[in-house]
Amino acid sequence: GEQRTFADRCLQGIRQSSGIIEEVRTLRTCRGGEAALVPVSLGRVIATAIAQMPGVAIAYDGTEATVLADDLLGQVFVNLIGNSVKFGGPDVSITLSVRDEDEAVGICIVDNGPGIPDHQKEKVFERFFRSDPSKPGRGMDLFIAAMLVKRYGGAIRAADRVPGRSEEGAAFCFTLKKAVP
């Protein structure tokens, strides 16, 4: 009854505090100057991120690519997939694709959720931007994802799953530099 409700609220508060601490740690690392980038197995990072999202339908064919990043790369995937789940709901369908682009790897995380209106596509990566204040969050996940992608020398953008039809789902596409073997 009442004790259970109190315990649930405490646990929710602890999780929220833990999330804030993790965000601050990531931001401090990003602001700490030049990144020491090392070869990272993209497939392993993606598999670990997907494993943190049990019950979410994610189509992904795997990749052998090795990219230049650091131990925070997984946060990019957790934040982007988490955003799709937050706005698409429990029945959202997500496709993660990886393609070769000469000296880079192109990654797209696409969902069939409500999409992103054109006037918000640039804003979604701004610190504290929240497209829907009724949804949980602090407006940091996409900001951190973009900050990390830039740290790795890549670029990120928000697009439509179906070009020109923003209401039919979102696509987050970004590039990462390949690690030269």
Q: What's the mean per-residue pLDDT of the chain?
A: 83
| Residue 43 sits in the same domain as residue 111 | yes
- Please report the pLDDT score of residue 4 as a whole number: 67
Q: Examine the pLDDT at 132 and tell me if it is beyond 70.
A: no
Same domain, 59 and 140: yes
Token duo for residue 107: 């990654």
The residue-averaged pLDDT of 158-172 equals 88
Alpha-carbon gap, residue 42 to 179, rounded angstroms: 10
Q: Look at residue 139 in the predicted model and tell me its pLDDT.
A: 66
Residues 146-162: tens digit of each pLDDT: 999 999 999 999 999 87
Span 129-139, average pLDDT: 63
Do 136 and 50 belong together in one domain?
yes
Between 130 and 48, the higher pLDDT residue:
48
Are residues 54 and 122 located together in one domain of the fold? yes
82 with 146, same domain: the answer is yes
For residues 112 and 56, give the distance between their C-alpha atoms in angstroms, rounded to a whole number.
Answer: 13
Mean pLDDT score, 149-177: 91
Residues 6+ apart with CB under 8 A from 30: 72, 144, 147, 148, 151
CATH number at residue 157: 3.30.565.10
Q: Is 21 in the same domain as 42?
A: no
Tell me: do 147 and 165 sit in the same domain: yes
Domain identity same for 91 and 108: yes
pLDDT tens track for 54-94? 888 899 998 999 999 998 899 999 999 999 998 888 789 99
State the residue range of the domain holding 105. Answer: 36-177
* 158 and 115 in a common domain: yes
Burial class (CB in 10 A: 0-12, 13-18, 19+), 59: exposed
pLDDT, residue 165, reads 84
Which of 12-16, 52-56, 133-137 has the lowest average pLDDT?
A: 12-16
Q: How many domains does the chain have?
A: 2
Q: Are 68 and 118 contained in the same domain? A: yes
Three-class DSSP category at 3: helix
* Whether residues 44 and 117 fall in one domain: yes
Note whether 28 and 73 are same-domain residues.
no
Its pTM stands at 0.79
